[in-house]
Amino acid sequence: MRLFVAVTPSAAALDEIATAIDRVRSLAPDLRWTSAAQWHLTLAFLGDVNADRLPELSTRLQRAASRHQPIRLAFGAAGKFDGRVLWLSVQGDRPALAALAGSAAAAARRSGIPIEDRRYRPHLTLARSSTPVSLTGLVAELGGFSGSAWTAVEVALIQSQLGQGPPRYQTVERWPLGRGLSAVGR
């Protein structure tokens, strides 16, 4: 199964993003715009994981989440990757978010799941293109975006199911940040 570890923004933060996107979506109808159901902050992309790795991964992610306190975050101005991805920046306690991402990656590695070792760049993906396009106008339009602060309170292990259309995400398990070792839901 294809998995990643993520933080899901608050409902209020998602509503603010949806309002901002509604204003600019018509400027680039050829982009593949992500939906609110897909909006998250990836902490660690795990790729294809055998089901036999899940029990140990779950234990290690639960432990990692319990060692980090809830994190105050907000979304900010848009940016782009290679003319293919339009995203919103993340503001707030970025060092704490990076530390949480490092713990999620370490939990995966200790569970026998190889993941890429690269610098953590927190962002929320808004739209994609399979070929490079000019995203400069959209970045400028969303350059003044400044979302309200929200608190990340849990970590989720999410399965990404690919197929026709956009990926479908299903939460496998969640753990609260800084609240001991009990799981929020399965």
**Domains, the chain, with CATH or none:** 2-74+93-119+152-176 (3.90.1140.10)
* Residue 184 in this model has a pLDDT that exceeds 50: no
Name the pLDDT band for 83 (thresholds 50, 70, 90): confident
Tell how far CA 29 is from the center of its chain: 23
- In the structure encoding, which two tokens stand for residue 85, read together? 């991805």
Instruction: Answer whether 86's CB lies under 8 Å from 127's CB.
Output: yes
- Mean pLDDT computed over 31-53: 95
In angstroms, the CA 157 to CA 174 distance is 6
The per-residue pLDDT for 117 is 85
Q: What is the 3-state secondary structure of 72-138?
A: EEEEEEEEEECCCEEEEEEEECHHHHHHHHHHHHHHHHHCCCCCCCCCCCCEEEEEECCCCCCCHHH
The per-residue pLDDT for 59 is 98
Name the pLDDT band for 168 (thresholds 50, 70, 90): confident
Instruction: List 47's β-bridge partners, or say none.
Output: 3
In angstroms, the CA 126 to CA 87 distance is 5
Q: What SS3 class is residue 57? A: helix
* Residue 148 in this model has a pLDDT that exceeds 70: yes
- Mean pLDDT computed over 139-157: 97
Q: Where are the alpha helices (DSSP H) in 3-92?
A: 11-24, 54-66
* pTM for the predicted model, two decimal places: 0.92
Instruction: Answer whether 2's CB lies under 8 Å from 48's CB.
Output: yes
In angstroms, the CA 179 to CA 154 distance is 10
* Residue 4 in this model has a pLDDT that exceeds 90: yes
Task: Using alpha carbons, select from 158, 135, 143 the residue that is nearest to residue 43.
Answer: 158
Q: What SS3 class is residue 157? A: strand
Name the pLDDT band for 186 (thresholds 50, 70, 90): very low
Give per-residue pLDDT as tens, 55-73. Answer: 999 999 999 999 999 999 9
Task: Using alpha carbons, select from 38, 177, 53, 25 the residue that is nearest to residue 115.
Answer: 53
Name the pLDDT band for 161 (thresholds 50, 70, 90): confident
* Residue 175 in this model has a pLDDT that exceeds 80: yes
More confident residue, 177 or 116: 177
